[in-house]
Amino acid sequence: MSSSPASPPVPDTDPDATPGSVIRSVFRWRGEGGRHLDDHIAEEVPVAFVYNSEPFAVMMATPADLEDFATGFALSEGIVAARGDLVIERIEQLIEGIEISMTIPDHRAEALAQRRRSMSGRSGCGVCGSELLEAALRYPPPVRTDVRITVPALRRALRELRAGQTINARTGATHAAGWAALDGGLQLVREDVGRHNALDKLIGAMHAAGCDPATGFLVVTSRASYEMAMKAASAGVSLMAAVSAPTALAISLADHANLTLVGFARDDGHAVYTHGQRLLGEADLTAGGHPA
């Protein structure tokens, strides 16, 4: 007969802990018994975006790669049109969470005031709290870049994305977004408890690294929602592959935005929903097609 678990001990600080995770004590059962152990847990904290001293939105996010997050969010949400329009003044750790203070041009601030949100977003919920329907749904202009990739390149990118998820390997609780070269080699990866946040962080990192959207494609570990497709198209990316399913609205947006949308991307197969000419299979290569 097993006894009730005793009060858990206070864990020591783990010098190997990575940004985005903390150590917490847990009583874990295996079979007929259990024991106390220290476990890596993904962090989730409120992150407030403040533009020109005016609060705009609060997102629940993993506190890692915050400069990339601020940049990618501002670009993918259309708050600024170019990276040069955004100045990150400071990132402050407050008792309540993290505040990122930024400066944008006055005309951008005036436009932002028209669509200011009044609610806090859940983890990566980019349209949560939008006051107007037209603010919630945005259709970016058609993607002008074009790529051709092979199925083996897609599968390589998926394998490397799994291997590159350092926070998820410890916690099992984060999504990831990756930028891969045309041969499938992973160039950048960002993680977050929110799938939209992970993609925003990646878009910010791509801008910081000077990545050309015409030289690669996106792979994400989540479902392909409307907003994931919108952010990809807004970044000028022409192909996004998700390990899970797309939504109907995401398919509609991808079709109009000239975005190749791939879902259920796994080692043994995938489904192409829009603009499938960019993903080359064995038959395409035999017929004379070739990757860009």
Please tell me the number of Cα atoms within 13 Å of 122 on its side-chain side: 2
> Which pLDDT score, from 0 to 100, does residue 286 have?
46
Q: Is 157 left (phi over 0), alpha (psi -120 to 50) or beta?
A: alpha
Catalytic residues: 125
- Is pLDDT larger for residue 146 or for residue 285? 146
- Is pLDDT larger for residue 286 or for residue 56? 56
CA distance linking residue 7 with residue 285, whole number of Å: 62
> Which pLDDT score, from 0 to 100, does residue 116 have?
66
H-helix or E-strand spanning residue 227 = helix 226-234
Q: Would you place residue 282 in the very low, low, confident or very high pLDDT band (cuts 50, 70, 90)? A: low
Rounding to the nearest 10 degrees, give the CA dihedral for residues 157, 158, 159, 164: 80
Q: What is the mean pLDDT of residues 120-130?
A: 52
**What backbone phi and psi angles, to 5 degrees, belong to 133?**
-60, -40
Q: Would you place residue 139 in the very low, low, confident or very high pLDDT band (cuts 50, 70, 90)? A: confident
CA distance linking residue 98 with residue 196, whole number of Å: 18
50 has pLDDT over 80: yes
275 has pLDDT over 60: yes
Q: 178, 186 in Cβ contact below 8 A?
A: yes
- Is pLDDT larger for residue 34 or for residue 180? 180
Q: Which residues contact residue 277 at a Cβ distance below 8 angstroms, ignoring those fewer than 6 apart? A: 260
135 has pLDDT over 90: no
Q: How buried is residue 55: exposed, middle or buried, by Cβ count under 10 Å (0-12/13-18/19+)?
A: middle
Q: Would you place residue 133 in the very low, low, confident or very high pLDDT band (cuts 50, 70, 90)? A: very low
Q: 9, 36 in Cβ contact below 8 A?
A: yes
The sheet with strand 87-93 has its strands ordered as: 87-93, 98-103, 45-51, 54-61, 121-123
CA distance linking residue 21 with residue 169, whole number of Å: 11
Q: 186, 209 in Cβ contact below 8 A?
A: no
**What backbone phi and psi angles, to 5 degrees, belong to 233?**
-65, -40
What global pTM score does this model have? 0.86
b or e along 66-87 (b: 16 or more beta carbons within 10 Å of the residue's beta carbon)? bebbbbbbbbbbebbeeeebbe
Q: For the chain, where are the E strands, in sequence order?
A: 21-30, 33-42, 45-51, 54-61, 87-93, 98-103, 121-123, 149-150, 175-181, 186-192, 216-220, 239-242, 260-266, 269-274, 279-280
Q: Which residues contact residue 9 at a Cβ distance below 8 angstroms, ignoring those fewer than 6 apart? A: 25, 36
Q: What is the mean pLDDT of residues 226-244?
A: 97
Cα→Cα distances 82→85, 92, 108, 124, 210, Å: 6, 24, 11, 22, 12
